[in-house]
Amino acid sequence: MAEHHDNEQESGTVVQSKPKTKRPPLYKVLLLNDDYTPMEFVVHILERFFGMNSTQAFDIMLTVHKKGVAVVGVFSHEIAETKVAQVMDFSRRHQHPLQCTMEKE
Ligand code: TYC
């Protein structure tokens, strides 16, 4: 529950603070382009770990391919970390150099 608090200043003036609601910070998950990972593999990653349909997945894959990087989702810190780990583990197991990172929004 949000609460207001009365704070007395040095001047003696009483001011009321805004209720501080805490929204957790969000993190962008970024997929990076490289010259070696097959396009089909990237599409599969986007379908499997980011719940995209094949059309969305192909569009985002092409954006990364052309622009070098794209945001593939925005999540809480814990979920973003999990997605990055899933993509990195899956790519490494298939011996592709695909890179995935996260950054605070
Ligand atoms: N550039 C890769 C190729 O031509 C395809 C690719 C797309 C790789 C997106 C990584 O995140 C990526 N095979």
Q: What is the pLDDT of residues 58-72, one digit of tens each?
A: 999 999 999 999 999
- Which atom of ligand 1 is found nearest the CA of 38? 13
Q: What is the pLDDT of residues 18-31, one digit of tens each?
A: 788 889 899 999 99
- pTM for the model stands at 0.84
- Which atom of ligand 1 is found nearest the CA of 64? 9
DSSP string across the chain = -----EEE-TTS-EEEPPP---PPP-EEEEEE--SSS-HHHHHHHHHHHH---HHHHHHHHHHHHHHSEEEEEEE-HHHHHHHHHHHHHHHHHTT---EEEEEE-
Between the CA of 32 and the centroid of ligand 1 the distance, in Å, is 8
Ligand 1 neighbours by CB, cut-off 6 Å: 31-35, 37-39, 42, 61, 64-65, 98
Q: What is the pLDDT of residues 6-59, one digit of tens each?
A: 454 455 555 556 788 889 899 999 999 999 999 999 999 999 999 999 999 999
